[in-house]
């Protein structure tokens, strides 16, 4: 069994393709990393911010060429794990389902409702069954640190919010938008699931900062969502997002204390060892290396 995670921070960042270039990483390198779960969205960019290792992957690939339903979420999380990241911060554009969360503001999401369909949502399956707890799907520690960093960067940040993940690529109908509000969802997006689920299976603490771009379409007196407006607000928030990463790196404790999520797989497996599929176990050489042994 592999030793516990390093006491050094290594932050994995999942965000838009335009984010990496403006982060100004020290010793930056673009590295292609392969995964047994298929092709990730693209190469990673790794380097340092104020002495903290940061590894970035563009969720939709270079030039935003991959739609939400076609992102290989398993490969992206697997690749970040292979790079040795200890924690994952996602930055995503979201629509607002409540008056209080206005366009231009940020939301430190703490819950999810999954309405996606047809996406590979687990690293496990026939031959190796595992069930992780997802009652509290984000890491409270990382989420709090990221929210504080965003505030220092000049953002108005809401601490907590429920994110409903839809399949897309179309935006919601008005009826759907009102239904999600009735369910108690606060923001809406297309990418957080199964990303958050897979991070938990990979024993990676995960947090999501949602950048509110619009009020979705539940307001009857307003026009529906237009991608041109979404992009306009996203570009306006890009500087804050980059500054948030710098401030997060500078505010991290010098030593990374263990997180309960670091051992999320400890009692998750229900398949008897003799019945486990060795090929599937081999594919998990990064995701579950702590359980099945150090990868080569």
84, 201, 293 from 194: Cα distances, Å: 21, 11, 25
Residue 275 pairs with which residues in a beta bridge? none
- Domain 10-287 sits in CATH at 3.40.50.1580
Pick the catalytic residue from 78, 110, 186, 214.
214
Q: pLDDT tens-digit profile of 115-159?
A: 999 999 999 999 999 999 999 999 999 999 999 999 999 999 999
Query: Known catalytic residue: 285?
Result: no
Pick the catalytic residue from 87, 110, 114, 216.
216
Dist. CA 191–CA 198, nearest whole Å: 12
Q: pLDDT tens-digit profile of 44-82?
A: 999 999 889 999 999 999 888 999 999 999 999 999 999
8 Å CB contact between 179 and 126: no
Per the structure block, which two tokens stand in for 184?
Answer: 């108690």
The pTM for the full model equals 0.93
77, 104, 129, 134, 206 from 201: Cα distances, Å: 10, 32, 12, 9, 11
Q: Where are the domains of the chain?
A: 10-287
Query: Known catalytic residue: 214?
Result: yes
């Amino acid at each position: 069994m592999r030793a516990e995670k390093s006491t050094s921070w290594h932050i994995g960042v999942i965000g838009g393709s335009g984010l990496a270039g403006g982060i100004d990483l020290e010793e930056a390198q673009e590295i292609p990393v392969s995964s047994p779960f298929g092709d990730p969205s693209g190469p990673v960019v790794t380097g340092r911010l104020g002495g903290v290792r940061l590894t970035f992957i563009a969720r939709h690939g270079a030039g935003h060429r991959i739609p939400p339903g076609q992102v290989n979420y398993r490969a992206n999380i697997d690749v970040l794990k292979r790079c040795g990241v200890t924690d994952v911060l996602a930055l995503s554009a979201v629509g607002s389902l409540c008056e209080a969360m206005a366009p231009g503001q940020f939301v430190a999401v703490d819950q999810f409702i999954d309405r996606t369909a047809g996406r590979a949502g687990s690293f496990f399956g026939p031959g190796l069954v595992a069930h992780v707890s997802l009652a509290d799907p984000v890491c409270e520690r990382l989420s709090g640190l990221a929210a504080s960093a965003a505030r220092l960067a000049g953002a108005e940040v809401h601490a907590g919010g429920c994110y409903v993940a839809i399949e897309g690529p179309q935006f919601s109908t008005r009826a759907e938008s009102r239904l999600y509000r009735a369910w108690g969802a606060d923001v809406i997006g297309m990418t957080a699931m199964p990303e958050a689920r897979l991070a938990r299976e990979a024993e990676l603490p995960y947090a999501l900062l949602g950048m509110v771009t619009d009020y979705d379409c539940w307001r009857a007196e307003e026009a529906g969502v237009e991608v041109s407006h979404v992009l306009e607000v996203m570009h306006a928030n890009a500087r804050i997002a980059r500054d948030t990463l710098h401030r997060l790196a500078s505010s991290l404790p010098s030593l990374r204390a263990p997180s309960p999520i670091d051992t999320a797989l400890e009692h998750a497996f229900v398949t008897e060892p003799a019945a486990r599929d060795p090929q599937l176990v081999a594919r998990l050489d990064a995701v579950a290396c702590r359980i099945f042994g150090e990868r080569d």
